[in-house]
Amino acid sequence: MTDPEFGYVTRENLSLFTDFYELTMLQGYHESGHNPDAVFDLFFRRLPPDRGYMITAGLEQAVYYIENLEFSDRALEYLKEKGFRDSFLDYLQDFEFTGDVRAVPEGTPVFPDEPLMEVEAPIMQAQLFETLLINQVAFQSLVATKAARMKEGVERYGDGQSLVDFGSRRSHGTDAGMKAARAAYIGGFSGTSNVAAGESFGLPVYGTMAHSWVESFDTEEEAFEAYIDEYGEDSILLIDTYDTVGGAETASEVAEERGVNIRGVRIDSGDLAGLSQKVKDVVDTGVFVSSGVDEFKIREFFESGGVASGFGVGTKLVTSRDAPALEGVYKLVASRSRGEMEPRMKLSERKVTWPGRKSVERIERDGTYEKDVLRMGGEIGERDLLVQVFKDGERVYELPDLEEIKVRAQEERRKLPERVRSIEKPVEYPVEIGEGLERAAERLQDELSKL
Amino acid sequence: MTDPEFGYVTRENLSLFTDFYELTMLQGYHESGHNPDAVFDLFFRRLPPDRGYMITAGLEQAVYYIENLEFSDRALEYLKEKGFRDSFLDYLQDFEFTGDVRAVPEGTPVFPDEPLMEVEAPIMQAQLFETLLINQVAFQSLVATKAARMKEGVERYGDGQSLVDFGSRRSHGTDAGMKAARAAYIGGFSGTSNVAAGESFGLPVYGTMAHSWVESFDTEEEAFEAYIDEYGEDSILLIDTYDTVGGAETASEVAEERGVNIRGVRIDSGDLAGLSQKVKDVVDTGVFVSSGVDEFKIREFFESGGVASGFGVGTKLVTSRDAPALEGVYKLVASRSRGEMEPRMKLSERKVTWPGRKSVERIERDGTYEKDVLRMGGEIGERDLLVQVFKDGERVYELPDLEEIKVRAQEERRKLPERVRSIEKPVEYPVEIGEGLERAAERLQDELSKL
């Protein structure tokens, strides 16, 4: 047992949630007196399979990190043990962000190569953020996108049925459970079963009973009676412990006997579409469906004639199971040399990193987005998708509340061309490279290859 | 901004990291005076693709949770807002675990249907643990297993090269980054780049420089000089920013000019096997390789003649990318009725849950494990794979340190039949059902189907 929080990240060790090389580099910059202003872009190079877009999320946590980052005594003591120099630790003790950040607001559809965040600061500050910013933004974006795809699924194939996150047990650790609940809400979910996420983020929380409730009583009937006696009309009875249709009949009888209009019944196994029809013939309540749900299952469910008021969604949402990683990167795109801010790029991997500060212009026609143009920074002023978040170390952006982000995510998603939003084999959304940027990249590539 | 820790799980809200239905059930049990002793098993039903075994991990965190669980004022206030009754909140305020836990020690290979943990307590206690126990144990087991497979890879196809976790930026949130580092160490990794995980768990931490270090200087040569001047023999220089073989030459020249035997160079892109050979011809140091590494890449790397001293492993480790979820479940297997502890099982889903308390016997022949037998609890005494962890609410198991767990994981893995350990299409390890258990299950199934 090594620490009181036992391996959770808190304020005390948040500054250490970084790769060791960030700190060795920082000490190197510090000791060699090389601390040029630098610009880093957080972006991704490719869309995951079947994704026509990503919904960006996690900026709020990134902002929190930048605003609250400090090296606690515990952190500094550990770094001293690891051999870092006192002069450098003194620097860390007074660490404070003094730079600028621009970012795409949460809930916005984004595409490959577009900066989701742009950090401009002395490299000893900007470098440090890499690990945590990618960690929070990439994961939440994955889940917000997966959720948006399921929302698309219930809108296209059903009647916009409600979706609730049930995934905390299958999420990768506790933070993922928390942030998946948040990101799912942004993507269009109605709430979560995770009580801690409900408390932290003000999300609606849902849930009624597990199979163990039913099994702990001698009969299903007793189990349903005890639940209705406590929760009345709020009851959603789980009916598939022994026999689903039989369970639906028992639920109906018990509700009638108690004189209560229960909210619904839930089916969690078997042929969900077929059972849901049979159950709907028996009960006069909502029918909720869980077990292996994702956007593809939702389509199949409705195409097979399934009937549901809502879905509980677990593993496939919180792990973004078919695409569990977005290869988010945080790349140096410019740094100051002899007084001038110069664009930078890496050459050898044959992956282009567009150099310099950038802007994204999104072009709309008749209420639908037509294409994006990736331009050199500052070219397009207020039409830029990126907004100013920090200026000279001060936050100048008021964080929108979650409802506002959720509304944006729905509205913006619906403005994408329909075929870009397909849950399978989407059409590629065009992202053009502006002329100025294209020329700047060519110039830089020439210079570098002459080195 | 909703709370000071901004959505991280700490002691203050750990009790709320649970599904809402656990709490509605608990209140239902409480208010109806139905609080029978119950036994829950944590297990998984199927091995993920290409896995011949799982390495269990996460018990330490599960124990921490059970030992430290309490409902803070903040938690109770939130639950009151959500409409829970005062009488029930009073119960939660005094919540204390009074039951028994048996578990398979961390680092042990485990198979489908075998209980990794067995919790026996009044149902109002045991029920509550479901979400967090699965969350911690399933995820850490996924990563420990993925790590063990890579360790198997370097042992089979290489010379047991060192493996280091570089994955924190791609992990699902901060807790996953922490726990992945821990689990990877158990599976056989040498350490992590995650400084916070190093601090929390006492893991060795590694890392030197990113491409941004190189790019922030006017030339690669200057970048290498500055690094060696600070870190001397500890330097591992990243050589693929502009041209990998050219970078190797520059690294060699700078090291020679400075009169330093650097530890190595790192390649992070391109044809890793081919480049590693060319680089090895140029440098007289370690060659470290990263970028897309997993057990399959390791095999391919060595089969293509690659040369490496060690690997940095990221995304595919921490997300267990080819199998990002282990469908861990926590099922009621017995509960007391009219004074008798009776086995329980769910019928309708056609998935068998073996009822009652169970034991696992692992049968060894000539130093190799031959098969497991899943038996009724208590049948086999000390040969049981499960050890007593809590007795009447008191912890009776001394948590082994991480080194011990890691050693166990390596030794136990190597005692599995070689073909069970194959990284692709492994042979199935036999898990037999003991006669007593088989008969008990049949009896119960008959009874239930007559209901």
Q: What is the mean pLDDT of residues B172-194?
A: 98
Q: Quote the pLDDT of residue B329.
A: 97
- Residue B167 distance to chain A (closest CA, Å): 9
Measured CA to CA in angstroms, residue B206 lies from A19, A129, A396, B236, B262 at distances of 8, 18, 37, 10, 15
> Is the pLDDT reported for residue B224 higher than 60?
yes
Q: Quote the pLDDT of residue A451.
A: 65
ipTM of the complex as predicted: 0.97
Are A346 and A291 in a shared domain? no
Which pLDDT band, with edges at 50, 70 and 90, does A337 fall under? Answer: confident
**Does A351 or B47 have the greater pLDDT score?**
B47
Give the DSSP H/E element, type plus range, for residue A130.
Answer: helix A130-157
How many domains does chain A contain in total?
Answer: 2
Are A118 and A158 in a shared domain? no
Q: What is the mean pLDDT of residues A370-387?
A: 89
Q: What is the mean pLDDT of residues B396-406?
A: 97
Are A350 and A294 in a shared domain? no
Instruction: Tally helices (H) and strands (E) across chain A.
Output: 16, 18
Are A231 and A162 in a shared domain? yes
Are A195 and A237 in a shared domain? yes
CB atoms within 10 A of CB A425: 9
**Residue B114 domain flag:** yes
Q: Quote the pLDDT of residue A338.
A: 80
State the Cα–Cα distance between residues B234 and A86, nearest whole angstrom: 19
Q: Say yes or no for a CB contact (<8 Å) between A19 and B219.
A: no
Per-residue model confidence as pLDDT tens digits over B278-308: 999 999 999 999 999 999 999 999 999 999 9
Q: What is the mean pLDDT of residues A9-33?
A: 96
Half-sphere exposure of A220 (CA within 13 A, CB side): 28
Per-residue model confidence as pLDDT tens digits over B127-169: 999 999 999 999 999 999 999 999 999 999 999 999 999 999 9
- Residue B135 distance to chain A (closest CA, Å): 4
Q: Quote the pLDDT of residue B203.
A: 97
**Residue B57 domain flag:** yes
> Is the pLDDT reported for residue B382 higher than 90?
no
> Is the pLDDT reported for residue B364 higher than 90?
yes
Under a CB-based contact definition with an 8 Å cutoff, are residues B409 and B148 in contact? yes
Q: Say yes or no for a CB contact (<8 Å) between B196 and A64.
A: no
Are A239 and A304 in a shared domain? yes
Q: What is the mean pLDDT of residues A168-191?
A: 98
Residues of A in contact with B88 (CB under 8 A): none
**Residue B79 domain flag:** yes
Q: Say yes or no for a CB contact (<8 Å) between B36 and A218.
A: no
Q: What is the mean pLDDT of residues A138-149?
A: 98
Under a CB-based contact definition with an 8 Å cutoff, are residues B274 and B249 in contact? no
Are A106 and A31 in a shared domain? yes
Q: Say yes or no for a CB contact (<8 Å) between B213 and A11.
A: no
Q: Quote the pLDDT of residue A80.
A: 98
> Is the pLDDT reported for residue A1 higher than 50?
no
> Is the pLDDT reported for residue A236 higher than 50?
yes
Q: Say yes or no for a CB contact (<8 Å) between A327 and B315.
A: yes
> Is the pLDDT reported for residue A11 higher than 50?
yes
* Residue in A closest to B401 by C-alpha: A1
The minimal CB distance from A13 to the residues B38, B199, B243 is found for B199
Under a CB-based contact definition with an 8 Å cutoff, are residues B206 and B185 in contact? no
The CATH number for A230's domain is 3.20.20.70
**Residue B437 domain flag:** yes
* Residue in A closest to B24 by C-alpha: A208
DSSP string, B271-305: -HHHHHHHHHHH-SSEEEEESS--HHHHHHHHHTT
Beta bridge mates, B374: B360, B433
Q: Of the candidates A318, A340, A356, which is a domain's last residue? A: A318
DSSP string, B121-170: EEHHHHGGGHHHHHHHHHHHHHHHHHHHHHHHHHHHHSS--EEEE--GGG
**Residue A4 domain flag:** no
Q: What is the mean pLDDT of residues A87-109?
A: 98
Residues of B in contact with A27 (CB under 8 A): 230
**Residue A128 domain flag:** yes
Question: Out of A334-343, A362-371, A386-395, B195-204, which region has the weakest mean confidence (pLDDT)?
Answer: A334-343
Q: What is the mean pLDDT of residues A76-98?
A: 98
State the Cα–Cα distance between residues A278 and A273, nearest whole angstrom: 9
Q: Of the candidates A265, A295, A318, which is a domain's last residue? A: A318
- Residue A335 distance to chain B (closest CA, Å): 6
Which residue range is the domain that position A261 belongs to?
153-318
Are A301 and A331 in a shared domain? no
Q: Of the candidates A272, A303, A318, which is a domain's last residue? A: A318
Q: What is the mean pLDDT of residues B362-386?
A: 91
> Is the pLDDT reported for residue B451 higher than 60?
yes
* Alpha-helix residue ranges (DSSP H) falling in A232-365: 244-258, 272-282, 295-303, 315-318
State the Cα–Cα distance between residues B308 and A268, nearest whole angstrom: 49
Are A227 and A363 in a shared domain? no
The SS3 assignment for B401 reads coil
Which pLDDT band, with edges at 50, 70 and 90, does A7 fall under? Answer: confident
Closest listed residue to residue A365, CA positions, set A438, A430, A422: A430
The CATH number for B43's domain is 3.20.140.10
User: What is the pLDDT of chain B when averaged over all its residues?
Assistant: 95
* Residue in B closest to A143 by C-alpha: B172
Under a CB-based contact definition with an 8 Å cutoff, are residues A374 and A116 in contact? no
CB atoms within 10 A of CB B294: 22
> Is the pLDDT reported for residue B383 higher than 90?
no
Q: Quote the pLDDT of residue A351.
A: 67
State the Cα–Cα distance between residues A246 and A302, nearest whole angstrom: 23
Question: With pLDDT > 90 as the criterion, what percentage of chain B qualifies?
Answer: 90
* Residue in A closest to B213 by C-alpha: A25
Measured CA to CA in angstroms, residue B106 lies from B295, B383, B385 at distances of 22, 17, 11
Per-residue model confidence as pLDDT tens digits over A240-288: 999 999 999 999 999 999 999 999 999 999 999 999 999 999 999 999 9
Tokens of A277: 């029809």
Question: With pLDDT > 70 as the criterion, what percentage of chain B qualifies?
Answer: 98
Are A38 and A135 in a shared domain? yes
User: What is the pLDDT of chain A when averaged over all its residues?
Assistant: 95
**Residue B108 domain flag:** yes
Q: Quote the pLDDT of residue B1.
A: 44
Are A41 and A175 in a shared domain? no
Are A299 and A434 in a shared domain? no
Give the DSSP H/E element, type plus range, for residue B40.
Answer: strand B37-44
**Residue A7 domain flag:** no
For residue B426, the one-letter residue type is P
Residues of B in contact with A205 (CB under 8 A): 20, 82
State the Cα–Cα distance between residues B117 and B97, nearest whole angstrom: 15
Per-residue model confidence as pLDDT tens digits over B35-91: 999 999 999 999 999 999 999 999 999 999 999 999 999 999 999 999 999 999 999
Which pLDDT band, with edges at 50, 70 and 90, does A349 fall under? Answer: low
Per-residue model confidence as pLDDT tens digits over A317-331: 999 999 999 989 999
Beta bridge mates, A359: A375
Strands (E), B256-309: 264-267, 286-290
